[in-house]
Structure 1
Amino acid sequence: MLTSIEQDGHVLHLRTRESFNLFDIDSVSLIIGPNGSGKSRFLQRTVEQFASRRLPDFGSDCQLVFNYVDQRKPQDWGVVYYTPVQNRIAFRAQKHFVDASQRREQDLLQLYEHREIIESFGLKINLLVKLRADEKKVGDFLALALVEDEKGRYASKRHQPQLRSIRDLKARLERFSDFNGDQRELTYLQNQYKRELSLLSGYVLDDLRTREPAASNVLTALCATFHHMQKQNYDILSYIALIDEHLPSSYFQHIDPGSLQQKKHVGSRRLFRYILERLDNFAFEKGPRGVYQYALTNEQERLHFASDREGPFEMVLPGMSSGQWAIFNQIISLYEAIKRLAAPPAGNRASPREPITKLLVLIDEGDAFLHLAWQRKYIWQMNKFLSECKHTFGLTLLQLIIASHSPLLASDVPGEFVCQLNLEDHAQNKGRAASNDDFIEPDTTSPSFAAPLHAILNRSFGAVTIGEFAVRRINAAIAALKAGTYGPQEKYLISVVDDPIIQRELQRLVPHTEHQSQ
């Protein structure tokens, strides 16, 4: 078992003989300190110490301390590192090391595959399939296409008089002068053009609806197909050809398929059939803004949409926050990394090796992007999750080290397993190796486990519990009150201070004459 790590005059304890382990995994330790104090560097050096070396590294400023059984075998361990932040540190390739941060961000189908893991972490996955098929936008698109088809390539002659009046309005708008034209006339022409175009859009859609068989999804499938075709720059004739094939409209002429780009035409027909088949087989519900959605209820249904990564159907988790997504991505990346080390694929002759049974997990600011309520649960949930991983993969040892800025995480770790770094020590020790005489035991009197947050902030993190803006405003008010000034700003500030002690002390500084006038 790894009992401690010594670096730059600091000791991070993982286990001691005197302490009873409170966690379900073999240890949980915490590194705290401000930005630039060397937390990430501490983890990086730790990873490097597990690298396989034929000769000792005399220049190392990091020392791993194991119990007697593991004293000479650090290379038998596996190490997993993870951070959600973008400015990641770089690691050299090592045989038994996985940088889980390098995994690409999880997609929703992968989340569904790891549903049991995610739900054991206290999260729920309720996947929806969404399809965009906005009839109003498609109608407007077709109406504008008809108006712009002045050469009659596809617009039906039957509706030419109706189209001609809209084209006249459009021509008048294009000739209108912004310098000497009447603004009221311009507003009238714009409103009239929009109104006529909107009416034409409605007529086109009504005409398509009357030609659709009862209880059919053809129009919805056409609209969804058109939405997807717009992303790929299809010619307008491809749209009209699909309408002509499935819902022949009096507004459009017959399109000869031989005049189309055959590859794209075949692709659009295939896409339409693909969408229509799924609309017929799944009870999609129409939502606002032309969005249809269906709630996936089982694994078999998911497989119907598994291949649609770049297609018209989109997997969504309704109401998912950035914090939830950060947790989803983190636990799956960690799970896959642990699996890779603890359960290597069978029959790999290229690099055969025995499964890892001892594992050290390093998480650098894993609580980043999480709401305070999620930070409060982070240690508990990570302990539970890694305990299940230890059982699943038959690990004999699993130890966790977390680097964090969060006082909420510090309140969940006993003080003897918290290592506090600071900017001064990092600046002094940067660029030199530490000798054994340099090591300083951490100040275990700093509050951590189950301590009030204000005590942890003040003594462990060296921070005050009030925002800087509020502190400066209160100090300015104190100076003004001591100088005998008590104006509207000071009066308002005192009224909005929510700390009763600070408010009472400010009231004591109010000039005596002001107390009497109140």
Structure 2
Amino acid sequence: MIQTVQTSAGPIQLIPQTVLETPDLNIFEAASMTLVVGPNGAGKTRMLASMIDAVLAADGRDGADHRDTLVVYYSPMPCGFNLPVHAQFINLQDGMRADKSQKEPNLNVLNNLDDVFDVQAKVVIRFFSTNNVYKQIYSLLAGHGKPDLSTLTEPLRRAIAQLAESRVESDHSRRTVGVIGHINSLAYDAEAAAREELGQAIERFLKAKLGAGYRREILAASYTIARHNKPIDFIQAMLQRLGVTFARPAGKTATAQKTYDGALKELADIAVVLGDAELRKAEYALTESSLAGLAKLGYKKYSSISTTGLSSGAAALLSQFTKIEESIKQTISERPGLKHLLLLIDEGDIFLHIGWQQKYVAYLNRLVEKNLGNLFEDIQLVLTTHSPVLMSDFPRDCLVTLEDKSISVADALDETPINLRKRASQALSFGAPLSSIINTTGDAGTMGAFAMQHIENVLKRLQSREPVAQYHIDMIDDPFVQKYIRMLTDRS
């Protein structure tokens, strides 16, 4: 466990002295949680980078020995520093490179997110379209295939005859009224209806001939013709097996048939995992067990797995914690000697609405308790943020405040006639009102600089007894400023 670590900002004590003396007073599931705050340019990320170097360099020669500590750094964007390549270090930065992996969604992480953030999402498998199969059959039956009509069912023969008749009428209409006029004609609509009817007749024919295996066979056929350069021959051979004869026999299909047989077997295994031997649906909701079962099969040939119902923020949270959790578990499986975890998260809340910022630290607490706690002897977290909401979840002695003396906006605001930025002698954080946290811990004003400029202008004009539009007064919602304005207007 790391008590104190040397950083670019000086030595940082990760475990408060009171908790060191009485461990039962720790309110977090982790051994320690530390929040680093400060304005842009204060060096928060630089401090984390130096912390990584310090921990990885602690090999016992200078007293500290962290050779059994795994260090993980996560940031939504590249940090801009050269971070080390080390067996004890995991570098997770979302902006470094595009994630081209097509891994299955982590349902464990998703369920935890649902419990804390109420994301109400689900993981589903969707099978690809099989329109390519029907297009080939349509072409064979209604085009150049020249099938023996006597080997077709009566509904198919009738649908083919109706399409042929409507085509003649459609051609006549096109020659008579032109292409544009034909699009709005009855003949055009009749041909479209005949095409649709033939498609439905083909589907009914296949279902009747293939029986319970219809869906699997069509999916297998779709995959097969997408893989081979003579799809029409394979589809013709498939129809011939169903009793349809043609004027010209199909070409060689041995290679395609081998692909088809393999696909049928894989689809049968997928059907077992999904609990539907006939694969009647185009989409299935997945459980942890079915997701794990599919991961062992070649489902990506015939379908895709995705998460539905996720907002962009929820998707980012899923990505963030999936990367953190899975990379940690993979690393400790390869290096079982790692006993401690130092997890550094650099502004991981930056994309979250205030309502979800309020739940972010609670989720981290749950992550340690439910997912990572049994993997290490102890876990320590260090976070950076600009959010006063996150600051409100950290006791004062768990805060590290960095300052940038080059920033002069604070001084400018302090010189205003009405100072809305009075600071307490001590920073406020855990459970404090956000306005107090913004003033003290956040070291900022309680309103935007533009609004401040407007208020200052209104007050100066009123103090000088100059006219001010009532609209410009009414738009100010601060009750103390409104009270002061009323006092000024009463004097005038």
**Would the TM-score normalized by the shorter structure come out above 0.5?**
yes
Task: Please tell me whether the aligned partners of residues 225 and 275 of structure 1 are also in contact (alpha carbons under 8 angstroms).
Answer: yes
1:111 corresponding residue in structure 2: 106
Query: What is the alpha-carbon distance in structure 1 between the residues aligned to residue 265 and residue 489 of structure 2?
Result: 78
Task: Please tell me whether the aligned partners of residues 38 and 421 of structure 1 are also in contact (alpha carbons under 8 angstroms).
Answer: yes
What is the deviation of 1:43? Answer: 1.0
Query: What is the alpha-carbon distance in structure 2 between the residues aligned to residue 257 and residue 405 of structure 1?
Result: 69
Query: What is the alpha-carbon distance in structure 2 between the residues aligned to residue 198 and residue 52 of structure 1?
Result: 75
Task: Please tell me whether the aligned partners of residues 166 and 196 of structure 1 are also in contact (alpha carbons under 8 angstroms).
Answer: yes
Query: What is the alpha-carbon distance in structure 1 between the residues aligned to residue 490 and residue 173 of structure 2?
Result: 73
Q: 1:211 to 1:415 in 2, by over 3 A?
A: closer
Query: What is the alpha-carbon distance in structure 2 between the residues aligned to residue 312 and residue 280 of structure 1?
Result: 15
The range that moved more, 36-45 or 266-275, is: 266-275
1:352 corresponding residue in structure 2: none
Query: What is the alpha-carbon distance in structure 1 between the residues aligned to residue 166 and residue 437 of structure 2?
Result: 75
Residue-by-residue CA offset, 1:288-311 (whole Å, 9 max, x unaligned): xx9622234562674156423522
Task: Please tell me whether the aligned partners of residues 217 and 280 of structure 1 are also in contact (alpha carbons under 8 angstroms).
Answer: no
2:2 corresponding residue in structure 1: 2
Task: Please tell me whether the aligned partners of residues 82 and 100 of structure 1 are also in contact (alpha carbons under 8 angstroms).
Answer: yes
In the alignment, is residue 99 of structure 1 matched against residue 100 of structure 2? Answer: no
In the alignment, is residue 47 of structure 1 matched against residue 37 of structure 2? Answer: no
In percent, how many aligned pairs have the same letter?
19
Query: What is the alpha-carbon distance in structure 1 between the residues aligned to residue 460 and residue 140 of structure 2?
Result: 73
What is the deviation of 1:40? Answer: 1.7
Q: 1:422 to 1:171 in 2, by over 3 A?
A: farther
The one-letter code matched in structure 2 to 1:17 is: Q
Query: What is the alpha-carbon distance in structure 1 between the residues aligned to residue 342 and residue 220 of structure 2?
Result: 50
Q: 1:161 to 1:320 in 2, by over 3 A?
A: closer
Q: 1:240 to 1:406 in 2, by over 3 A?
A: same
In the alignment, is residue 393 of structure 1 matched against residue 375 of structure 2? Answer: yes
2:416 corresponding residue in structure 1: none
Query: What is the alpha-carbon distance in structure 1 between the residues aligned to residue 473 and residue 298 of structure 2?
Result: 59
Query: What is the alpha-carbon distance in structure 2 between the residues aligned to residue 132 and residue 392 of structure 1?
Result: 40
Query: What is the alpha-carbon distance in structure 2 between the residues aligned to residue 230 and residue 33 of structure 1?
Result: 60
In the alignment, is residue 25 of structure 1 matched against residue 15 of structure 2? Answer: no
Q: 1:418 to 1:304 in 2, by over 3 A?
A: closer
Q: 1:459 to 1:166 in 2, by over 3 A?
A: farther
What is the deviation of 1:209? Answer: 0.5
What is the deviation of 1:29? Answer: 0.9
2:78 corresponding residue in structure 1: 87
Task: Please tell me whether the aligned partners of residues 166 and 194 of structure 2 are also in contact (alpha carbons under 8 angstroms).
Answer: no
Residue number among 365, 377, 385 corresponding to 2:347 in the alignment: 365
Task: Please tell me whether the aligned partners of residues 80 and 100 of structure 1 are also in contact (alpha carbons under 8 angstroms).
Answer: no
Alignment of 1:425-440 (within 5 A): none
2:417 corresponding residue in structure 1: none
What is the deviation of 1:218? Answer: 4.8
2:199 corresponding residue in structure 1: 204
Task: Please tell me whether the aligned partners of residues 74 and 324 of structure 2 are also in contact (alpha carbons under 8 angstroms).
Answer: no
SS in structure 1 at match of 2:427: coil
1:76 corresponding residue in structure 2: 67
Residue number among 298, 301, 323 corresponding to 1:308 in the alignment: 298
1:15 corresponding residue in structure 2: 15
Alpha carbon RMSD of aligned pairs, Å?
Answer: 5.2
Task: Please tell me whether the aligned partners of residues 48 and 344 of structure 2 are also in contact (alpha carbons under 8 angstroms).
Answer: yes
In the alignment, is residue 324 of structure 1 matched against residue 314 of structure 2? Answer: yes
Residue number among 166, 185, 188 corresponding to 2:181 in the alignment: 185
* Structure 1, gaps ≥5 residues long: 57-70, 347-354, 428-442, 513-518
What is the deviation of 1:244? Answer: 1.1
Alignment of 1:105-504 (within 5 A): 109=104, 111-112=106-107, 126-133=122-129, 141=135, 145=139, 149=143, 152-153=144-145, 159=160, 162-163=163-164, 165-166=166-167, 169=170, 185=181, 187-188=183-184, 192-193=187-188, 196-210=191-205, 212-213=207-208, 216-221=211-216, 224-225=219-220, 235-237=230-232, 240-241=235-236, 244=239, 253=246, 256-260=249-253, 262-268=254-260, 270-271=262-263, 274-275=266-267, 278=270, 282=274, 292-297=282-287, 299=289, 302-304=292-294, 306-339=296-329, 344=334, 355-387=337-369, 391-395=373-377, 397-424=378-405, 445-466=426-447, 484=467, 486=469, 491=471
SS in structure 2 at match of 1:130: strand
The range that moved more, 225-234 or 376-385, is: 225-234
Residue-by-residue CA offset, 1:343-376 (whole Å, 9 max, x unaligned): 6557xxxxxxxx2334322122222433433321
Task: Please tell me whether the aligned partners of residues 392 and 437 of structure 2 are also in contact (alpha carbons under 8 angstroms).
Answer: yes
Task: Please tell me whether the aligned partners of residues 411 and 449 of structure 1 are also in contact (alpha carbons under 8 angstroms).
Answer: yes
SS in structure 2 at match of 1:46: helix
Residue-by-residue CA offset, 1:388-436 (whole Å, 9 max, x unaligned): 56651351x4322111222221111122332233454699xxxxxxxxx
The range that moved more, 294-303 or 41-50, is: 294-303
Residue-by-residue CA offset, 1:207-244 (whole Å, 9 max, x unaligned): 43045239945554455456656865865515733761
Query: What is the alpha-carbon distance in structure 2 between the residues aligned to residue 161 and residue 49 of structure 1?
Result: 81
Q: 1:76 to 1:503 in 2, by over 3 A?
A: same
Query: What is the alpha-carbon distance in structure 2 between the residues aligned to residue 267 and residue 31 of structure 1?
Result: 57
Higher relative contact order (CA 8 A, sep 6+): 1
What is the deviation of 1:44? Answer: 1.0
What is the deviation of 1:186? Answer: 5.6
SS in structure 2 at match of 1:213: helix
Task: Please tell me whether the aligned partners of residues 25 and 399 of structure 1 are also in contact (alpha carbons under 8 angstroms).
Answer: yes
Q: How many residue pairs align between the two structures?
A: 455
Query: What is the alpha-carbon distance in structure 2 between the residues aligned to residue 126 and residue 363 of structure 1?
Result: 26
Q: 1:404 to 1:241 in 2, by over 3 A?
A: farther
Query: What is the alpha-carbon distance in structure 1 between the residues aligned to residue 76 and residue 442 of structure 2?
Result: 21
Residue-by-residue CA offset, 1:13-53 (whole Å, 9 max, x unaligned): 32343455332322111112344432222111111123348
SS in structure 1 at match of 2:301: coil
Task: Please tell me whether the aligned partners of residues 7 and 47 of structure 2 are also in contact (alpha carbons under 8 angstroms).
Answer: yes
TM-score by length of 2: 0.70
Task: Please tell me whether the aligned partners of residues 241 and 257 of structure 1 are also in contact (alpha carbons under 8 angstroms).
Answer: yes
2:421 corresponding residue in structure 1: none
SS in structure 2 at match of 1:76: coil
What is the deviation of 1:332? Answer: 4.1
Query: What is the alpha-carbon distance in structure 1 between the residues aligned to residue 287 and residue 227 of structure 2?
Result: 32
Q: 1:14 to 1:195 in 2, by over 3 A?
A: farther
Query: What is the alpha-carbon distance in structure 1 between the residues aligned to residue 425 and residue 487 of structure 2?
Result: 39
SS in structure 2 at match of 1:212: helix
The one-letter code matched in structure 2 to 1:299 is: S
